[in-house]
Amino acid sequence: MKISQLKFDHLNLPHQHTHIHHQPDDIKSGSGNTAKRKIFYQVPLDDFEKQEILKLHQTLQDKRITLPSNWTERDSLKYLYSSKFDHDKSAEKIQNCLEWRSNPNSQTLSPGVKFILECGALYIYGRDRQFRPLMILDLAKVDFDNMKEEDFNAAVTILMDIMREYCYIPGKIERTTVLIDLRNVSMTSVPMGAMKGFITIANACFPCTMHKTYLIGMTFMMRMSWKVVEGIFYKFSSVLNISLK
């Protein structure tokens, strides 16, 4: 079954979003290639951003990378920000995204994907105080002895697509808060394959959508050995914006 055949209207935010008003720094701060942007849609772009989009599109044309018909300039801008305005890196991420999206398994609710979404390893759980959707990754329930890595990546893609379509509101809510549940997980049993897959999909297909990631349920030993834990998750910190909770 294709995920597009299903509807998730119950995830829509009724009326509270009308009260969300962002301060200028909450939309974009700084300037040039050192700027940071949190809101990309239904807001004006500056001249630098417009020029960088044109340059990226020229790079894509030179590399013979064809964008889908529903692609927007704002989508391109998110890749530029996630790659610190490096056009080649942005193009590489876009190509990786398009290649994964062209894989029919990335949008198919296969038995393996359905199992991952139903076992509690990965799910949506309400919203934070700013109405950003909460995604839970329960690492204790990730078992690659019984899960295929491709199925896990597809589950991440499907869940984030659902959030983007039903939980986001352009110009208001464009990011996700992630909670990584470490209960019943030791430092030596962290499923790195799951973390790698999660980050690969988020980085390639959903740039600039991770607001903050909290590590919850850490054991006493993990807290006492925080430097070791920090080292495990450090390589993911630039995408996830990790905090200890």
Q: What pLDDT digit, counting tens, does each position of 19-40 carry?
A: 778 888 889 999 999 999 999 9
Residue 28 has what pLDDT? 95
Per-residue pLDDT at 89: 95
What was the pLDDT predicted at 171? 92
Q: How many residues does the chain have?
A: 245
Average pLDDT over residues 109-130: 90
**For residue 61, pLDDT beyond 80:** yes
118 secondary structure, DSSP code: H
Q: Average pLDDT in the 103-132 region? A: 90
pLDDT at 21: 80
Mean pLDDT of 123-128: 91
Average pLDDT on 88-104 reads 95
Alpha-carbon gap, residue 210 to 223, rounded angstroms: 24
Q: Is the pLDDT of residue 135 over 60?
A: yes
Question: 122 near 116, Cβ under 8 Å?
Answer: yes
Confidence of residue 183 (pLDDT cuts 50, 70, 90): confident
Give, as one character, the DSSP assignment of residue 163: I
Task: Tell me what pLDDT residue 16 has.
Answer: 58
CA distance 229 to 197: 19
Average pLDDT, the chain: 85
Round to whole Å and give the CA distance between 169 and 167.
7
**Would strands 210-216 and 176-181 be described as parallel, antiparallel, or unpaired?**
parallel
Indicate the pTM of the whole model.
Answer: 0.85
What distances in angstroms separate CA 48 from CA 29, 51, 58, 87, one per listed residue? 14, 5, 15, 14
